[in-house]
Structure 1
Amino acid sequence: MLKIGLIGKPNAGKSTLFSAITSIDVDIANYPFTTIKPNVGISFIKDKCPENEITAKCNPREGRCVEGIRYIPVEIIDVPGLIEGASEGKGMGNEFLDNVRDADIIINLFDASGMTDLEGNPSENKHDPGEDVKFVYREIVNWMNGKISKDWQKFSRKEDNSPERLEVKMLQKAATFGLNEKDVIFIMTREKFPDKLIHWGNEDINRFSEAILKYAKPVFNIGNKSDLLTEEALKEFSGEETSYLISAQYELLIEKAFNNGYISSDGNDFTFTAKSGEAQKTVLNEIILKYKSGSIMRFYDVLTAIIKSLGYIVVYPVLDETRWEDKNGNVLPDAYLMKDGDTALDLAYKIHTDIGKNFIRAVNGRTKRIIGKDYKLLNNDVIKIISNSR
C-alpha cells in the first residue's frame, strides 16, 4: 500500500485532517503538540472503476466503489509537529522524523491563515505561511544530512576501495530512507556527484538529500485553515504552483455528517437525508459553495491529483479475464497502484513474490490477448497473471 507521511509544524491541523480522512478519532485542540505519537490510518484516492464497462457490480476487497468511482486505499502516517531544531532531536524531532522513513510521499501541511507562530501557538500577528513551508523542508533535509553524513569518513574510505558502482555504494546510505537501487540510479542520472566518496563535501550530501525529496520521496505543500482566509487572500495563493488549499475543519464536518447519516455521501454531490435539520443544511451548504468556487479543494481530490502527477496508475488483477473475477466470484476485487512504466512482471511481483518468480504469461482482460512480462501497464488495465506458483 502506498504510504503518505503527513508532517508540518505544531497546530497546523494535521490531527483534524487525519481524523477527517481516516474516520479515526484522535485528540484535536488549538495548541501545539496535541499529537505526541504518530497516528496511522487509511485514506483513499479516487479513480473511475472499470465496472462501468461490464454489467456486474464490483466487490472491492479493500476500499469501496460508489457510483462507478473506486476509492483506493493509501496509508496515512500523521507525524507529531516539528519545531525548529527537530533534525537535531529537539521536541523528539528525530523520533518523529523517523516515522516518515518509509513514506513514499510526504505532505507538508501548513497553516495558510498565518495565525500561528513557528512553534504552533495561536497568534494575532499574521505570520508568513511561506516561512513554515521553508522551515519544515529545511528540517527534513537536515535530518537526512545527519543520517547520510554519519561516519562519512570511515564509510567513504572503505567504499572507495570497493569495485562496486557508486549507486550501489550510496544505496547503503539511501536505504535508510526506504530507497532501493532503482531509486538511487535514477537520482544519479539526474544529478552530478564526485566519483570518489572521499571528495564529497557537505554541499554534495545536501544535494543528495534534496534529490531524494525531489525524485524518490517527493514533498507536496498543502495549505490548511483556508476557510479562515478572505477571498482576496485565497486569490493570492492561486499563483502558487506547489501549494493546494484545503480546510481540514470542513473535511471533518462533512465526514461527521456522513457518518451520522445526515447526508447521502461524503462527496460534494451529496443530498440531505430526513435526519438532517436546518442547522446542518445551512452549514453544509455554505461549505459546498466554497468548494464550488474552486478556491478550496477537497483533500481526496488533492491526494488523487498528487498521486496522478507522480505517474501512478491503477491496475486491476483478476483470475478470470472474461468475467473479471477472482476465484470466489468477486468482480474486480483488487485495485493496485503501480508506477507508469511498470510491466506485467512488476504486477506479478506486486501480487506475490512467488507469482513473479514463476511468471509464465499474462492476459489483457479487455482485448483477451496474451501479453508478455515486458508489457507496459496502462491506467485501468484489467490483467490476468498466469504463473506456475501454487
Structure 2
Amino acid sequence: GLGNQFLDDLMQADALVNVIDVSGSTDIEGVPGDVGSHDPTEDITFLRKEIEYWMREILKNGFNKMARASRMTGQKPEQIIQDRLAGLNVTEAQVKKALMSVEMPPDIVNWTDDDLLNLCINIRAQSKPMIAAMNKADIAPEGNIEKVEAINDICVVTMAETELALKKAAAAGLIDYTPGDSTFSIKEGVTLNDGQKKALDYMKANMEKYGGTGVQKCIEDAAFKMLDLITVYPVEDENKFTDHFGRVLPDAFLLPRGSTAKDLAYKVHSDLGDKFIRAVNAKTKRTVGADYILEDGDVIRIVANK
C-alpha cells in the first residue's frame, strides 16, 4: 500500500523481510477476517511477482535497441542488464549468477518478454532475497506454517504482539527480558494479578514452543544467513579494545564476508580509507595491510595519515 515509497525503499534493500499473517486472519488487502480464512502463501507469491514484473518492465523499456547495440559492440548481457537495474542496487555478479540459472536464447536480440520474466525471477532471488516472517504463529491453524515453509527458503516464526507485550512488561519492571531471548523471567518480589499471570504463562508457553518471539531472529537471519555478513569492531587502542573516550568495543560494523581492512576503514569514515596506512589486529597484535581479509569478530585498529 506504500506505492512509490515502497519501491524507493526496495531500491536500497539488500534483503527483504516479508511479514505475513500466517494465521490467515488478514487478507491480501490487509482486511481482518476469521482465523484460517486467507491462504498466507498468497502473500509470499504476490510480493515476489510484484517485484519480478516491476524489474521486467524496467528491462523492457528500450531493451530491443540496447540488445541490437550490444550485438554490434560485443557488450556482455550481464553488463547491459546491470546497467538497467543499477538503480535497484543490483550488481553485475548477481545478474551473471542469475543468467547461469536460466536458459536464455544465445542471441540477446531474440529474448522474449517471457525470457526476461524468467531472468527477473532469478535476479530477484539473487538481489532481493526474502525472509518470510510468519507472524501470529501462536494462533496459526495446523499446516499453515508448513505451507509457507514449503515455498520460501528462509522462514521465521514470529509473534510481534508477544514481543511488544514483553517489552512493555520489562519497561514496567515486571520481567527480565532482552529482545532475542528464548524466554523471560518474572522479577523477584513482583506481584502479578490473575490476568497478568495468565497472559505471561501463555506467552512463555509459545516462546518455549518456537524458541522465542522470532522478531530479533528475523534481523539476524537476514544479516548472517541471507547476506552472509560478518561483525568487525574498530578501536583506537588495540591493547584495551577502546576508543579515545575509553569505551570498550564502542562500535560494531557489519560487512560482507571477504571484506578487507581498507574496506572497514572506508566504512568508518572516507578519510580513514583515503589516508589508510595499515591496520592492527588487536586480538593477535599483528600489523596487517590494506588487503587483509577480515574475519568475523575481528577487533581492528586502523592507522591512517592525519
Does the TM-score normalized on the shorter chain lie above 0.5?
A: yes
Alignment counterpart, residue 385 of structure 1, candidates 279, 302, 305:
302
Residue 181 of structure 2 is aligned to residue 271 of structure 1: no
Alpha-carbon offset, residue 335 of structure 1: 0.3
The offset of 1:96, in angstroms, is 2.9
Number of aligned residue pairs: 298
The correspondence for 2:284, drawn from 339, 363, 367, is 367
Structure 1: which amino acid aligns with 2:11? R
* Correspondence list, 1:1-390, <5 A: 81=1, 93-124=3-34, 126-162=37-73, 164-188=75-99, 193=104, 197-229=108-140, 232-233=142-143, 236=146, 240=150, 242-266=154-178, 267=181, 268-272=183-187, 277-278=192-193, 279-294=195-210, 297-310=213-226, 311-388=228-305, 390=306
Q: Distance in 1 between matches of 2:106 and 2:238?
A: 49
Displacement of 1:243: 2.4
Shift of 1:183: 4.1
Q: What percent identity do the matched residue pairs reach?
A: 33
- How far is the alpha carbon of 1:204 from its aligned partner? 3.1
**Larger Rg belongs to:** 2
Q: Tell me how far 1:102 sits from its aligned partner.
A: 0.6
Query: How far apart are the structure 1 equivalents of 2:304 and 2:223?
Result: 30
How far is 1:283 from its partner? 1.2
Query: Runs of 5+ in structure 2 lacking a partner?
Result: none
Deviation per CA, 1:157-197: give whole Å up to 9, x if none.
Answer: 44444454443332221212123445445545655655654
Whether the 8 Å CA contact 1:263–1:276 is kept in 2: the answer is no
Indicate conservation of the 8 Å contact 2:70/2:76, yes or no: no
Alpha-carbon distance, 1:135 to partner = 1.7
Alpha-carbon distance change, 315 to 138 in structure 1, aligned in 2, over 3 angstroms: same
**1:223 counterpart letter in structure 2:** M
Q: How high is the TM-score relative to the length of structure 1?
A: 0.68
- Kept after mapping to 1: 8 A contact 2:22/2:145: no
Q: Does structure 2 conserve the Cα–Cα contact (< 8 Å) formed by 1:361 and 1:385?
A: yes
Highest RCO, 1 vs 2 (Cα 8 Å, sep ≥ 6): 1
1:334 to partner: Cα distance: 0.9
Higher helix share: 2
Supply the RMSD in Å over aligned alpha carbons: 2.8
